[in-house]
Structure 1
């Protein structure tokens, strides 16, 4: 049971890191989109 709990914890940590990584990855695109919106107006 302990091993399963450890595995679940590891998966949860990896998922959090993945979400964080994706957010950082999309930040420049979001900034660019906001800039384009400002220019379009």
Structure 2
């Protein structure tokens, strides 16, 4: 039982980490879209 709980907690941590990474990349993407580089403006 304890092993299953521990395994579940590890899976949750991996899932949370993936969500954080996706959120960060989404934020970076939206920031880039709001302020496009000079090459995209032309």
Same fold (TM > 0.5): yes
What is residue 31 of structure 2 aligned with on the other side? 31
C-alpha RMSD over aligned residues: 1.4
In structure 2, the gaps of 5 or more residues are 37-42
> In proportion to residue count, which structure has more helix?
1
TM-score, structure 1 normalization = 0.69
The correspondence of residues 1-41 of structure 1 with structure 2, limited to 5 A, is 1-35=1-35
Aligned counterparts of 1:34 and 1:27: Cα–Cα separation in 2: 11
Give structure 1 regions of 4+ aligned residues with deviation exceeding 3 angstroms: none
* Deviation of 1:8 (Å): 0.4
In structure 1, the gaps of 5 or more residues are 37-41
